[in-house]
Amino acid sequence: MKKSLLIGLMVTGLLFSACDTKTTIDESAMVKPGTHQNSAPVEFVSENFTLLTTDEKFITLKSTTQGLDFEEYKGKKAVLVDVFATWCPPCIEELPILKELREKYKDDFEIVSVLFEKDKPKQEILDFIKEHGIEYPVTVGDENFKLAKQLGDVKKIPEMFLFTKEGRFVKKFVGKTSKESLEEYINLAIKN
């Protein structure tokens, strides 16, 4: 009885660490607890992207050897790229933290959420945004997958990538991340 309870708790812990893009979740698809911070550095190659938001606007950016230059935010705001899926429990659990930090640093910080799901009906995405009170841009479409490839070939979600106001890469977060850790690096990105 105790052994099966322990195994059940361990599996639950793995499920809420990070999700893979696979439809079936197994142990190989999970980021192990305690190993979620700063995987290997991302190597950026020069490429242009035009991301489409759910409200039919465009976010234009260019990858450079230093990171990502967001046309709209360059020199104005640090940017956190949040690669997520609507079915991913850790992604959903982090939403209140992301919303709180965005509000707190709204003059110097923006979040761009990159939906990592193919063929998700637009109305379902809009319902998800409304249900969770998301007020920052959420992007959809094939460009999301090109950007995810550029960001080190994203395989597990949530994955977040933080950039300074000048577009320099600061930190990669994989799996559920604490508010304190995010805030520490957001402050660093804003100041640099």
Each residue of 100-155: pLDDT tens digit? 999 999 999 999 999 999 989 999 999 999 999 999 999 999 999 999 999 999 98
* Amino acid identity, position 160: M
SS3 assignment, position 36: coil
For residue 42, is pLDDT > 90?
Answer: no
Cα end-to-end span (Å), the chain:
53
CATH code at 182? 3.40.30.10
Q: Which domain holds residue 69?
A: 2-191
What is the structure's pLDDT at 45? Answer: 78
- The count of structural domains within the chain is 1
DSSP 28: G
For residue 29, is pLDDT > 60?
Answer: no
Each residue of 139-152: pLDDT tens digit? 999 999 999 999 99
> Rounded to 10 degrees, what is the CA torsion of 135, 137, 142, 146?
-130
18-31: average pLDDT: 37
Contact 144, 113 (CB under 8 A): no
CA distance 139 to 175: 20
Q: What angle do CA 21, 54, 22 make, to 5 degrees?
A: 5
**CB neighbours (10 Å) of residue 174?**
23
What is the structure's pLDDT at 156? Answer: 85
Q: What angle do CA 54, 134, 120 make, to 5 degrees?
A: 40
For residue 81, is pLDDT > 50?
Answer: yes
* Ramachandran bin of 176, using left for φ above 0, alpha for ψ from -120 to 50, beta for the remaining angles: beta
